[in-house]
Amino acid sequence: MENQSKTYDLFIVGGGINGCGIARDAAGRGLSVALAEMNDLASATSSASTKLFHGGLRYLEYFEINLVRHALAEREVLLTAMPHISWPMRFVLPYHKDMRFEGSTPTSRILNTVMPWMKGRRPAWLIRFGLFLYDNLGGRKILPGTQTLRLKGRPEGAPIEDRFEKAFEYSDCWIEDSRLVILNARDAEARGADIMVRTKVVSAARVDDLWEVTLEDGATGETSTLRAKMLVNAGGPWVGDIIQQKVRINSTEGVRLVRGSHIVTRKLYDHDKCYFFQGTDGRIIFAIPYETDFTLIGTTDAEHGEPEAKPECTDDERDYLIAFINQYLKEDITADDVVWSYSGVRPLYDDGASSATAATRDYTLKVDDAGGAPILNVFGGKITTYRKLAEDSMEKIVPFFPGTSGHWTAGVALPGGDFAVDGFEALVTRLAQEFTFLSPFWARRLVRAYGTEAWEVLGDAKDEAALGQSFGATLTEREVLWLCRNEYACTAEDIIWRRNKLGLRMNKDEVAALEGFLRSTPVDQLAKAAE
């Protein structure tokens, strides 16, 4: 493997959002950076989120004020840097007087003490006060504030039961989570980082004040060694395994693995707003417009075992989400309406919380340099605060590299995101005018995925035939090759579930054709750098 004789400043283990975010920040400050991911980028937690940049309204009940404030402030910082893969959304929170707290929250315990006659119910004034804090804690310039809705006769009231007469509407943002990871990795690489996918860290040891890292190529099985001045453990669910098994250092720090599952159904309503639903058990779920023709519902909170155990949405979790949303919908859904499900493991810092729901979503950063070369272990975190986590990580890293420059990432566009927040529709119109063979869905999909780089994907094509083989659902040979050459894609799953979500629209024969194309195309043609 090339670079085995090179000594890097930083070697990062883990190609999720935390690892790629730190790689981008560090490379942009002039540090030499290498990152290894044992599978595809964003193949675990970072592609299995609820896909929101949000402050975490419910975390206010746990008094996680700093977490919420930082997340709220980040929403607009991030939105301006990636308006193709992130956009504002309005959330509708239907209210009913019988809504209850999740019993273990600090807020519920206080209210049960001072207002015992409420018997665990959430009063409307408390929700409105929480939304007032939500509107003002982080500052807003782009996103509109909260308003109260009367649901009767409005589109927001049409799909839900008539007993819900009032709702609160507030703002958060959507994010294409796996694309966020890919774009951070690409930008890190453009700034000098070496990004190695399907490359497993076998071991790492301190040797002569450096880390000596042994790697295994996932395709060939060949091993190689490189050196780094500092190690960053951003292994997500595997962070504890890396500490204990790969670098073998003594540490009492650990993670609590919490599984969050989601289901996707046919489109359940006709407007473009999300719902924030509160259950009889006090928990909440979202129902979100998804990929034009679907609705995303989630999430659960369940303890998960070992990180090697593949997270899957269990029948019980699916049925829980169905029963939960059926408390609100006029027309019940069943398991037959579920077209896809996914599940991810959140590696939460183990703070001794009594339940998975109560465990902190904030991140914890720990440096160990007692044995020589330093290592930074990254615990927890939310996708909304990934950029702030990277900045805070650099605060821990910079002391070991005197003279390193300061913060720079706030508002700096990711690849394809160099246009105004309100410029998406104009970009779609321009693409459709220049490539007249594109359907409206196709044009929007390309701009949502690639922003201003959609023109690079299409190249000089004058008609659909010029894009090569068609795999269905608007996916063509030219786009596939672009993804392989520019975005580290290797398999059909990489392409149709992490670079986009066309797996929802493609049938088995179309997926098999894509797999056959990838197998039969020479590696050098797939990996050749784009002109």
pLDDT at residue 341 above 60?
Answer: yes
pLDDT at residue 110 above 70?
Answer: no
| Residue 388 CB coordination number (10 Å) | 22
> What mean pLDDT comes out for the span 365-385?
91
pLDDT at residue 282 above 90?
Answer: no
Q: Give the integer Cα–Cα distance in Å for 64 and 255.
A: 18
Q: How is residue 498 written in tokens? A: 């992490």
Name which of 331, 328, 315 is nearest 263 in CA terms. Answer: 315
pLDDT at residue 376 above 50?
Answer: yes
Q: Crossing angle for the helix pair 124-136 and 65-81, nearest 10 degrees?
A: 50
pLDDT at residue 529 above 90?
Answer: no
| Cα three-residue angle 489-493-498, rounded to 5 degrees | 70
pLDDT at residue 109 above 90?
Answer: no
What does the pLDDT look like over 468-499, one tens digit per residue? 999 999 999 999 999 999 999 999 999 999 99
pTM of the model: 0.92
- Report how far apart, in Å, the C-alpha atoms of 497 and of each of 136, 142, 340 are: 36, 30, 11
- Residue pair 124/199 in contact by the 8 Å Cβ criterion: no
pLDDT value at residue 330: 96
pLDDT-derived band at 317 (thresholds 50, 70, 90) equals very high
pLDDT-derived band at 132 (thresholds 50, 70, 90) equals confident
